[in-house]
Amino acid sequence: MKKSWAVFVAVFVGMLFIILAAGDKENASLKIAYIDMPRVLQAYKPYKDLMESYQSDLNFYKKKLEQIQEEIKKLQDSGASQDEINKKKSEYIQKEQLFNQLLQQEYQPRMQQVQKELIEKAQKFAEENGFDVLLTNYPPGVVLSVVHVSDRVDVTEEFISYINSNQEK
């Protein structure tokens, strides 16, 4: 599936270039740029803040699970019944699932919002800078097959400066 998606994207981008170049005979050159989105995310304050908050919550839940693991170890060391140990192990599994679910419910929508904001900012950035095509390796998991990106078209640093100077408070 990934391979067919990559082929589709490559064919689509190639056709886009041909159509745009053929349709604009007076000015056949396209202004193309590329943004390295993982690098942008690492430099984007709202994303960094979100990841710090996530890590804090994750560590909190990990400590809770470690406490249950210690209780299981104490039960095993004290010679408690297998039934009692199994109940505590079951509690651990239930808590682990609950904590994962809570983290996902809390952070998935927030992450989607940050990603949506970045895409909107990228579109505005492209329009303001006159780019005909702005390529990126977004969304995560869908890799745009770009064999080479010269520094001449890589506008990642400019985009990072743009989003950091235009952050909505």
20 close to 131: Cβ distance less than 8 angstroms: no
What's the predicted TM-score (pTM) here? 0.69
pLDDT in tens, 139-151: 655 655 554 556 7
Inter-axis angle of helices 82-128 and 156-165, nearest 10? 100
Cβ-count burial of 41 within 10 angstroms (0-12 exposed, 13-18 middle, 19+ buried)? buried
Cβ-count burial of 157 within 10 angstroms (0-12 exposed, 13-18 middle, 19+ buried)? middle
Tokens 């100077």 belong to: 165
b or e along 67-83 (b: 16 or more beta carbons within 10 Å of the residue's beta carbon)? ebeeebeebeeeeeeee
Residue 89 clears pLDDT 90, i.e. is over it: yes
Cα(79)–Cα(85) distance, integer angstroms? 9
Cα(65)–Cα(63) distance, integer angstroms? 5
The reported pLDDT for the residue numbered 44 is 93
Assigned CATH for 31-165: 3.30.910.20
pLDDT in tens, 117-133: 988 898 888 888 888 88
Q: What share of the chain is helix, strand, coil (3-state, %, to 5)?
A: 70, 5, 25
pLDDT in tens, 23-60: 444 445 878 888 888 889 899 999 999 999 999 999 99
